[in-house]
Chains A and B, each alone.
Chain A
Amino acid sequence: MPEPAAPLAVEVRDLVKVFRLRRSPGIGGGRSAAKTIVAVDRVSFSVAQGRSLAVVGESGSGKTTLARMAVGLERPTAGQIAVGGRERRWKHVGSRERRRRAREVQIVFQDPYSSLDPRQTVGRCLDEMLRLHFDMDHARRTERIAALLEQVGLDERHAAAYPRALSGGQRQRVAIARALACEPRVLICDEAVASLDVSIQAQVLNLLSDIREETAVSYLFISHDLAVVRQVSDEILVMKDGRVVERGQTDRVLDDPADPYTQRLLAAIPRPGWHPVADPESDLVTS
């Protein structure tokens, strides 16, 4: 358990997200009928300052919708989100308030090929964040950019580069540096290492644990990969079809999973001596 004295970085209570899908008229002959999907169904959790929580699940589990609500890209249908003890409101949010929220929660997306502006050098990308969020003169910004690049294992040569000149791993480092630029309380990693080659993935995972030791940042780690989650999280939340099916300390959940779905996820990971087995029920799941 996190020390009770540690203040909560994020607290989420009974969060719900319902998407309305409108069926286009004509196809199928019927009249347009609204169909709703409950992507996130009454999910609650909290992350103490400096701790790391992993949200685990397969596609359609609602884990990415949860992340998008936490960072403010999606408005919850119901429920509360508090960051640093302050309740989020969803009406009449001005640009000043948006910027303040951005300084609290930042996100690193899965695909570093589409999450960076191709017409902006790495240095300008970081400079823009600093100008937007802080009152710093040029010299201090330059200094800070150098420090940020060093923190993620890049150097000043990379500041002049455009994303197209960088490898996938380097781009993801830039995305992490950009997120760290405004010194957030919470860093959300939405499958941030999933598209990286295994040798690069290890580097970025090591980098993320270094950053946690150096700063007091909290992680909300969204992932489908239980091996990655074991490496980076203290606690774990297993989601399926929008609901939490199991939660607890990472080591406890992965060593001794209580829920059958968590057990199935673990059993499906290739490892020495493993052999793939068809699950007679799974056709119902995938259809």
Chain B
Amino acid sequence: MTLLEIHRLSLDLEVDGELRRIIHDVTLELDDGEAVGLVGESGAGKSMTSRAVIRLLPRGARLGGEVEFDGRSVPAMDARALRAYRSRDVAMIFQDARSHINPVRTIGAFLTEALVERGERKADAVTVVSELLETVGIHDVPHRLRQYPHELSGGMLQRVMIAAALAIRPRLLLADEPTTALDVTTQAEVMAHLDRQRRGRGLAMLFVTHDLELAAAVCDRIAVIYAGCLVEECPASTVHDRVLHPYTAGLLASRPSATRRAARLAAIPGRPQAAYEIAPGCPFVARCPYVVDLCRTTRPPLRLIGASRVACHRAEELAGQLSVGRFSGEERARA
């Protein structure tokens, strides 16, 4: 059953008195209990997409298209409905736990605030959050509840934030680069807890990250976003064998591997562009090795090909040729 439906989302923000396009066109659905990884480089609009879902946008933001949660329009919610939605249906985990947890209140106060706010007894709330802290691998819970954020490590604080998100028993988790600031072993630890809890509770998750490999490991589907446009969406299981958009192939090929040294990395030429910089054609046209005239004039719509959706005019033609090896081979020949 569809839980979240993002339909033709667009977003403009006011920058120095001018409206600037941040998201062009994002269409994405999440079923109940399903995890989707929203992958892209900085400025692609992935964080803003997740913030549009919880309506946590900067002042003056103009939203186009529709975001529906369980059949209800999020942009149309009044203040009261929005408050209920944020405190019961959806929870957000931010990248930097330290700047999203009140530094002058204890961990216990932070964790129980939402539950007490919605009418639960303080003692019950403490029981609930204590159990949650245990399940995300935090020991000596009574002591931790009395501590302040500065007394906890980054990995520990991020687990506190995950516990806070789970405490409200939401149906959807929004996780915005939850492990990017952590060491790699701590990342594995935090992701293991997040993944186990999410699956155990049947929660849906929109997982925002720049790390395609990490997303593929913990999500059911992957959605790739470039310059404010969704360019490909595919099952996570096929992302290494069969990608259909040249940008996805480029992302996979440009990342060095810990298991073997490449003679030369298959760098995507140029730099990532922001949504407001791109011309009317395909957003990836300036960096794509497979460009034809049509790409410069017409923005490709998302089309269903097999189990994937892809926004590329040449997707059928290039299918099977976009393997990572081919991309790097071409790059080597050119260099």
A residues adjacent to B (C-beta < 8 A): 58-59, 167-170, 197-203, 205-206, 209, 224-228, 230-231, 251, 254, 264-272, 274-279, 282-283, 285-287
Contacts and interface: CB of A to CB of B under 8 A. Distances in A.
Given A276-B192, A278-B193, A283-B139, A254 B259 contact: yes
Contact of A287 (B156, B217, B272): B156
Contacts of A275: 195, 217-218
Contacts of A59: 183
Nearest to A228: B256
B187 interface: yes
A199 B258 contact: no
A225 B183 CA distance: 10
Interface of B: 41-42, 137-139, 152-153, 155-156, 183-189, 191-193, 195-196, 210-211, 213-214, 216-218, 240, 250-251, 254-262, 264-269, 271-272, 287, 335
A269 B41 CA distance: 19
Contacts of A264: 185
B185 A198 contact: no
A268 B41 contact: no
B187 A199 contact: no
B43 to A, nearest CB: 9
B333 to A, nearest CB: 15
Interface centre among B183, B258, B261 (most CB of A within 10 A): B258
B258 A197 contact: no
A206 B240 contact: no
Contact of A278 (B137, B260, B272): B137
B265 A287 contact: no
Contacts of B210: 197-198
Contacts of A251: 261
Contact of A197 (B156, B218, B272): B272
Name the prevailing secondary structure of the A interface residues: helix
Given A199-B272, A201-B254, A278-B193, 6 more contacts: A197-B41, A199-B251, A206-B264, A226-B184, A227-B256, A227-B258
Nearest to A231: B256
Nearest to B155: A286
Contacts of B192: 276-278
Contact of B41 (A198, A231, A283, A286): A198
Contacts of A268: 184-185, 187-188
Contact of B156 (A198, A269, A286): A286
5 cross-chain pairs, A with B, having the tightest CB-CB distances, nearest first: A202-B267, A202-B254, A276-B191, A270-B213, A58-B183
Nearest to A278: B192
B257 to A, nearest CB: 6
Contact of B259 (A58, A271, A286): A271
B50 to A, nearest CB: 18
B256 A279 contact: no
Nearest to B272: A197
B140 to A, nearest CB: 9
A202 B266 contact: yes
A273 to B, nearest CB: 8
Given A224-B183, A272-B216, A167 B271 contact: yes
Contact of A202 (B153, B189, B193, B256): B256
27 contacts: A58-B185, A59-B183, A169-B271, A198-B41, A199-B41, A199-B250, A199-B271, A202-B265, A202-B267, A202-B268, A205-B265, A206-B265, A227-B256, A230-B260, A251-B261, A271-B257, A274-B213, A275-B195, A276-B192, A276-B218, A277-B192, A279-B189, A282-B137, A282-B189, A286-B189, A287-B153, A287-B156
A230 B184 contact: no
B103 to A, nearest CB: 15
A282 B137 CA distance: 9
A283 B144 CA distance: 13
B138 A283 contact: yes
Contacts of A286: 153, 155-156, 186, 189
A58 B153 CA distance: 13
A247 B188 CA distance: 24
A167 B261 CA distance: 27
Contact of B217 (A168, A199, A274, A283): A274
B185 A197 contact: no
B257 A267 contact: no
Given A270-B214, A272-B240, A286-B189, A202 B258 contact: no
Given A198-B210, A267-B188, A276 B265 contact: no
Contacts of B267: 199-200, 202-203, 206
A74 B95 CA distance: 31
A170 B271 CA distance: 9
Contact of A231 (B42, B261, B287): B261
Nearest to B260: A230
Given A197-B42, A277-B192, A269 B254 contact: no
Contacts of A203: 267, 269
A8 B185 CA distance: 34
Nearest to A205: B265
A92 B264 CA distance: 45
Contacts of B214: 270
Contacts of A230: 256-261
B41 A271 contact: no
